[in-house]
């Protein structure tokens, strides 16, 4: 979708709408189009330009200097900025690049960026420093409905493949004192965090049984019993009532009372005693 309002630009770039309007008038950086009712809007190219400007600003460049650069000079300055050794600045630019690749549906660019980051940082740090912040920023676009569902699938499927490839390259788990069942409950479809949990556990050499998305709860108790599962992990991301989550947890716990690690966004939720709330990948790692 090639139409963004000024509030969309602010949420995506972190630059105030008032500032963007000043830049339009003072530096002629953007020339927005207008609807039939005279409301200004911006296209993909302008959004990508603003993201690149935000990368330069983060590196300490002044907008007055940026505005006077030719297109060629702008690109040279941008590339030089991305090569600086500062970790925060590097990650900031990389995340913006991933958003731009998603807007363009450019699989080659998206894949090359992730491949380079994984080679440099390793999978664990790439997820924490690049992939999660990217998903948060790109989620602004998806929440605004400025990107079609196809864009979300485009990005998440590439990330998913990277994680699965990393898992497949791990040696077969050798530790037998713990085994983990990983699944998403009914109507839960976003599995990047769950796959990452699978990677963390298998990288620690523990066995996992990965069931994936939208698993019927009636199957879980029997699987726990038959496969001698010692721990269960699940994630709640879709909006649902607290009472529903509690009922689901209690249903699964009818026959078993093993540690149940879950991630959910409700600190006031009252859960069974064997339920442990996971708040970060680091917490899962330390738990192991």
Average pLDDT over residues 251-263: 76
- What percent of the chain lies above the pLDDT cut of 90? 51
- State which of 137, 166, 195 marks the end of a domain: 166
Cβ(252)–Cβ(221) below 8 Å:
yes
Residue 182 in domain: yes
| Span 137-192, pLDDT tens digits | 887 666 665 566 788 889 999 999 999 999 999 999 999 899 999 999 988 888 99
Same domain? For 190 and 160 the reply is no
Of 257, 253, 252, 254, the residue nearest 185 (C-alpha): 252
Q: Which domain holds residue 96?
A: 6-166
Asked if residue 183 and residue 277 are part of one domain, the reply reads yes
**One domain for residues 183 and 160:** no
Supply the pLDDT for residue 52.
94
pLDDT digits (tens, 9 = 90+) for 57-95: 999 999 999 999 989 999 999 988 888 888 888 999 999
**CATH number for the domain that contains residue 249:** 3.40.50.280
pLDDT at 200: 96
Instruction: Please indicate, yes or no, whether residues 127 and 43 belong to a single structural domain of this protein.
Output: yes
Alpha carbon distance 131, 216 (integer Å): 29
Q: Which of 166, 182, 210 is the last residue of a domain?
A: 166
pLDDT value of position 140: 67
The pTM (predicted TM-score) of the whole model is: 0.87
On whether both 106 and 212 belong to a single domain, the answer is no
What is the count of structural domains for the chain?
2
Q: Any idea which of 12-21, 172-181, 192-201, 268-277 has the lowest mean pLDDT? A: 268-277
Cβ(172)–Cβ(207) below 8 Å: no
**Rg (Cα) of the chain, in Å, rounded?**
22
Within-domain flag for 222: yes
135 and 203 assigned to the same domain:
no
Mean pLDDT along residues 223-238: 87
- Per-residue pLDDT of 95-108, as tens digits, reads 999 999 998 999 99
My answer on whether 188 and 132 are in the same domain is: no
For residue 277, being part of any structural domain is answered with yes
Residues 201 and 115 in one domain: no
Give yes or no: residues 201 and 278 share one domain.
yes
Residue 86 within any structural domain of the chain: yes
For Cα atoms 257, 263, 266, give the angle at the middle one, nearest 5 degrees: 105
Q: How many helices (H) and strands (E) does the chain have?
A: 14, 7
pLDDT of residue 256: 61
pLDDT at 241 over 70: yes
Q: Is residue 243 included in any domain, yes or no?
A: yes
- How high does pLDDT run on average in the chain? 88
Least confident of 26-35, 107-116, 179-188, 206-215: 26-35
Q: Is 255's pLDDT higher than 60? A: no
Based on the fold, state whether residues 155 and 212 are members of the same structural domain: no
Which pLDDT band, with edges at 50, 70 and 90, does 12 fall under?
confident
Specify if 12 maps to a domain. Answer: yes
Q: How many other CB atoms sit within 10 Å of the CB of residue 262?
A: 19
Pair (191, 58) in one structural domain: no
Q: Is residue 1 part of a domain?
A: no
Lowest mean pLDDT among 26-30, 119-123, 140-144: 140-144
Query: 104, 138, 166: which is the final residue of a domain?
Result: 166
Query: 158 with 267, same domain?
Result: no
130 has a pLDDT exceeding 90: yes
């Amino acid at each position: 979708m090639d139409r963004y309002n000024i509030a969309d630009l602010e949420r995506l770039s972190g630059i105030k709408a008032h500032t963007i309007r000043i830049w339009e008038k003072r530096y002629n950086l953007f020339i927005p189009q207008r609807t039939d009712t005279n409301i200004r809007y911006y296209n993909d190219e302008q959004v990508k330009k603003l993201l690149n400007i935000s990368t330069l600003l983060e590196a300490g460049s002044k907008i007055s200097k940026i505005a006077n650069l030719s297109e060629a000079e702008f690109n040279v300055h941008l590339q030089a900025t991305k090569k600086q050794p500062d970790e925060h600045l590097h990650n900031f630019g990389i995340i913006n690049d991933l958003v731009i690749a998603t807007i363009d549906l450019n699989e080659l660019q998206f894949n090359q960026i992730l491949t380079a980051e994984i080679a440099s940082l390793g999978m664990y740090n790439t997820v924490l420093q690049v992939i999660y912040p990217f998903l948060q920023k790109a989620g602004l676009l998806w929440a605004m409905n400025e990107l079609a569902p196809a864009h979300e699938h485009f990005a998440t499927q590439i990330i998913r493949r990277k994680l699965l490839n990393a898992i497949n390259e791990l040696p077969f788990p050798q530790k037998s004192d713990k085994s983990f069942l990983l699944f998403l409950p009914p109507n839960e479809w976003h599995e990047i965090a769950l796959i990452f949990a699978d990677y963390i556990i298998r990288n620690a050499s523990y066995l996992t049984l990965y069931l994936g998305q939208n698993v019927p709860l009636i199957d879980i108790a029997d699987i726990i019993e038959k496969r001698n599962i010692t721990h269960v992990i699940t994630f709640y991301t879709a909006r649902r009532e607290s009472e529903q989550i509690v009922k689901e947890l209690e249903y699964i716990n009818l026959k078993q009372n093993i540690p149940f690690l879950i991630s959910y966004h409700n600190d006031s939720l009252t859960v069974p005693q064997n339920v442990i709330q996971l708040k970060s990948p680091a917490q899962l790692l330390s738990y192991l």
